[in-house]
Structure 1
Amino acid sequence: MFTLDYITLKAFFLENKEFFENARLQKIQQPTRREFIFTIRNKQGTKKLYINIDPQIYHICFMSDDTYEKRGITIPQKPPMFCMLLRKYLESSRITKVCLPHYERIFEIYFDSYNELNEKITLCLAIELMGKYSNVILYNTDTKVILGCAHNVGSEKSRERELAGTLPYVYPSKQNKSDILRYFGKLDYDELNEYFLGISQSYQELFKENNTELETIKDYIEQKNVVYSPAIEGTKFSVYAELLKSPVLQNSVNDMIDNYFSDWQEKILIRAFKLKLRNIVSPKLKRLKTSLGKLEQQLRKKTSATKFKQYADLIMSNLYNNKDYIKEITVTDWESETDIRIPLDKKITLRENAQIYYKKFSNSKNDKEKLINLIDEDKLYVEYLEQLIFSIEVSNDILSLKEILLECRENNLIQNSKAQEKPKNVEVEKIDINGFEVYIGKNNKQNDKIISKISAPDDIWFHVQNNTGSHILLKVPNDKTPDDKTIFECCKLAKKYSSTANSGKAGVIYTKRKYIKKPPKANLGYVTYKNESEIIVE
């Protein structure tokens, strides 16, 4: 991925400079130790300035509601100390100006504020976007004394530049590089980043790919005589679309930064969220399968209950042919026409031995039935947990994963005494197939919503047979009947969103919604069906 560089930061600065000046900082929030949200208002409206100083995805931009969701932002109930400090000095303050020191990735916001003696002072919030050295620093511009930092830097981390409250604020040491604006020699594209200020590895790569001329590079850096055409291409971005091979144009430099980095944050969050959910469900599934294996082994070892009944019946039919108080009897089983030897307790009568065998028959039969019931229950729960694992794998957004986490809590898969934020309702994905609406459930809550709220009796339900997968619903209006092609497309969709997606062939069953039932107390998303048809899908 590309990181935020001087060229992009300068473009953002020039694009948004006017909005900052004379605006008011209404609200300050700090979701994590590396994230900040400033709600800024001026005559043009209100925007949320997002600052991220994570070493991998450091950036600054005004974020939209959509990218707010992508970033999975949660505001803590108790703000960190640095957030409280910023609120004390900056909340409701007026922004006087913003600056971008030459060739530095430092975005400076200047504020009119007041000290403890109610004297007017000018404070600067320096947002340093420099990889692992990224930081947010508040200092007094008159005294150059630091009031606080997002994270302090002691002498053990940096001998050249310590950062902490009461220490003087100084700019980072100048890099031993040249200004390309004053250079007129031959270009070596492999060494642009090493020898010249303001050129990142990302732009070095783009300039090399396009064999960009020196004067054009100067224009790009100075940002004169150029028109911004911000664009994204996969893992790349540029404020100049002509440097990309297949650019996806963005509305503004800000939107480019916001969309690019929020997409990466969402991918990182989804990866971490999936790992967290797998670590909740997978161990329970593994333990349950082990337990199920032991129960099935016990069932196989169980003596047939009918054997005890056979012994008891044979004893009772031969009471008068044998004596009481003997170790065993040998009798003929007329059904199999074989002699059977029956062990006895010689301390009791034949009749009493028969009653013991009848009791063993009853107990063994009950134990076996209990084992079978336990095995059936465990098999259903294994199916449920496997469906959860499948839902985790196919989910591709934070809100869907939050739904799964909520389901885990509701089903006591995770114990948490703290009150948890309930995720927003996620709309079930809907697509069009040959003019018909088709819904795809990505987790058990969405599958349940399809059956409970979206479907009508004559709609058609699809599911891969004997495997985990999404519930697919084909909406059937009163005036339309789906043809075979539409049915087959829905079957292909059911296979695609299932554990058989990468297998050669799979059976997909479908039936009308009115033939689907949700058994009482069944796991979420579990249904029974009848009158189904099957299609084999490759």
Structure 2
Amino acid sequence: MPFDGLFIHSLLKTLTTNLKKARLSKIYQPFDNDLILIFRNQGINYKLLISINAQHPRMHITTKNIINPDTASTFVMVLRKYLEGAILNEIKQVGMERIINLYFSNRNEFGDETNFVLSVELMGRHSNVILYNKATNKIIDLLKRINPEDNRVRLLLPHADYQLPPLITGIDGSTITQSEFGRLLAKYTTPLDMVNKFNGLDSDDKKELLGYFNNDFSFDALKLFMSNFDKPQGYVLQTVNHQNKFFCYRPRYLNLYVVLQSEDINKALDDFYQDMANKEWVRQKAKAVENVVNNENKKLSRKLIKLQKQLDSAENSTEFRIKGEILNVYLSSVKPGITTISLPNYYDENKPINIKLDPALSPAKNAQKYFVKYQKLRNSIKFIKEQIKLTQDNLAYFDTIQTAINNAEPQDIALIREELINQGYIRQHNKNNNLRKKKITADNIACFTLTSGKKVWVGKNNYQNDWLTLKKADKRFLWLHVKNIPGSHVILQDIEPTMADIKEAAEIAAYFSKARYSANVVVDYITVKKIKKPKGAKPGFVIYTGQKSISVTPIKENILCKRDN
């Protein structure tokens, strides 16, 4: 259902109540397709999220802590110039379309009042945010500039006249009168024909309205359906195929059952989109980091294959020693200048063995050449094995980085990137820039409360893992980690935990690991004092002995409901 015309019509009731006549105090753009506008109204701050993500375009009040980037985009700088400190006079929807206009008034440098419109178009891949001057109707700037070749319907560039996109004509259910409905009833004689003429309804709303009309094809049925949108609430409903959908009312005629209900529609929207938004925001932030990880994994995988072939060749080098020995025995049979000879192999019942020769060398020198090659290969085995171990360790390291990215929230990516810079995998463009800008503190660490009330800390990247295990945690606390799989260091803050506490903490450890979606995950646990970090080891790597293990199956809903921050 989000965000069709009727849903927006309903949502604006809450937005208008909170934001009308509010002052816009801060503007920032945390990600490519998202804006945050912070309003202050009657001593309360409201954080308005506007997203033009093609899959999930939306606008609602959020309480999530979203990182303010160090540098502002050009569009944000323009918005700050014209709108920072402005008063939001009105929020209006264009008909039943997915277009929301925010009307602002501000003072220019001469003290004169100026009026601007911030138009939010939530239209799938055509979504956009456009700032234009209300008096001149000229576009000042847009979040997504469109080349004229890509959109021949209207010009979406600064200084062009603002034009509405092509609109679909239809019936506005919020304004239609009983007499107008009567005239339409004579024209559209079946419920389905009538429903298809209404504007602002997605497929689910149309099915629901059709249910009302099939029961009672009248104006009263329409008004009863429209009353669902007078006091919007947040409903997360699930289909028979376990697909979650969001509604601002509870449908009567759709085969759905309630997963969650909240009187606060903005909070419900915030929670509903949180997981999807996090994944998208992390994808944007982590794109460069993931490219490094993928490239290193490819190089290391190719190197490992090459080393394994070299090891196989070295371990099968006995053939060269045998050929050298046979040549020594039959030197008199080897004529100078020949390139190959077949001699009896006394190691294999005197079966013939073909031996290649260098015609430029004497028979004795050819034999010596085989001995040298044999010895060289034997001597290389130790070095190759060391290189294989190093390559496998590096692959395991990048596996931990990828797991950290998969488990990351947007604010975690900076620390992962910093780690790769310090390890020499990403080049730092500004060498004078201090890498460790943000010190790791307990506020950065994810914290959970178990059923017993005991706390659990979770490090979500290698730097956090090191800090949590080696610096922060009491040596008597319990340390947990999935067995032989990349994952978070987890600390159970208790000296004498019960098995129920250990099981819950182990489920958290399993969830924040590469085995997040697996069943019967084995988790090791041991006191912090027994954890050691080898000298020169990469971030996040520790060793331990004497651990105990427990097998658990992580369930997302059970774990995330325990999170404090």
Q: TM-score, normalised by structure 2?
A: 0.68
Distance across 2 between alignment mates of 1:40 and 1:495: 40
State the Cα RMSD in Å: 4.9
In structure 2, which of residues 198, 203, 206 is the aligned counterpart of residue 204 of structure 1? 206
Number of the residue aligned with 2:395: 382
Number of the residue aligned with 2:543: 528
In structure 2, which of residues 199, 223, 230 is the aligned counterpart of residue 218 of structure 1? 223
- Aligned-residue offset at 1:97: 3.1
Matches within 5 A, 1:124-273: 124-151=117-144, 156=149, 161-180=154-173, 181=176, 182-184=180-182, 185=185, 194-207=196-209, 215-221=220-226, 226-233=230-237, 235-242=244-251, 245-270=257-282
- Aligned-residue offset at 1:517: 1.5
- Aligned-residue offset at 1:377: 3.1
* Contact persistence 2:170–2:197 (CA under 8 A): yes
- Aligned-residue offset at 1:13: 2.3
Number of the residue aligned with 1:350: none
- Counterpart secondary structure, 2:101: strand
Distance across 2 between alignment mates of 1:493 and 1:430: 9
2:97 is the counterpart of 1:104: yes
- Counterpart secondary structure, 1:110: strand
User: Deviation digits for residues 203-249 of structure 1, max 9, x if unmatched?
Assistant: 2244457878663543554778x433332336322222355630522
Counterpart residue type for residue 248 of structure 2: V
Distance across 1 between alignment mates of 2:16 and 2:403: 47
Bigger shift: 186-195 or 134-143? 186-195
Matches within 5 A, 1:355-504: 369-393=382-406, 395=407, 397-418=409-430, 422=438, 426-430=444-448, 432=450, 441-477=459-495, 480=496, 482=498
Counterpart residue type for residue 200 of structure 2: G
- Counterpart secondary structure, 2:276: helix
Bigger shift: 487-496 or 373-382? 487-496
Distance across 1 between alignment mates of 2:158 and 2:398: 51
Counterpart residue type for residue 36 of structure 1: L
Q: Unpaired runs of 5+ in structure 2?
A: 239-243, 318-371, 554-565
Number of the residue aligned with 2:45: 46
Number of the residue aligned with 1:8: 7
Bigger shift: 5-14 or 143-152? 143-152
Residues 48 and 286 of structure 1, relative CA distance in 2, 3 Å threshold: same
User: Deviation digits for residues 253-276 of structure 1, max 9, x if unmatched?
Assistant: 333444434443223334566776
Counterpart residue type for residue 402 of structure 2: I
Residues 6 and 502 of structure 1, relative CA distance in 2, 3 Å threshold: closer
Q: Unpaired runs of 5+ in structure 1?
A: 306-358
- Aligned-residue offset at 1:519: 0.9
Distance across 1 between alignment mates of 2:483 and 2:157: 63
- Aligned-residue offset at 1:521: 1.0
Counterpart residue type for residue 106 of structure 1: I
- Counterpart secondary structure, 2:419: helix
* Contact persistence 1:30–1:37 (CA under 8 A): yes
Bigger Rg over Cα: 1
* Contact persistence 2:478–2:528 (CA under 8 A): yes
- Aligned-residue offset at 1:135: 3.3
Residues 369 and 398 of structure 1, relative CA distance in 2, 3 Å threshold: same
Distance across 2 between alignment mates of 1:515 and 1:33: 45
Counterpart residue type for residue 87 of structure 1: R
- State the percentage of identical aligned residues: 25
- Aligned-residue offset at 1:520: 1.0
Residues 41 and 389 of structure 1, relative CA distance in 2, 3 Å threshold: closer
Aligned residues: 486
Residues 263 and 529 of structure 1, relative CA distance in 2, 3 Å threshold: closer
Residues 450 and 183 of structure 1, relative CA distance in 2, 3 Å threshold: same
Counterpart residue type for residue 127 of structure 2: S
Residues 6 and 366 of structure 1, relative CA distance in 2, 3 Å threshold: same
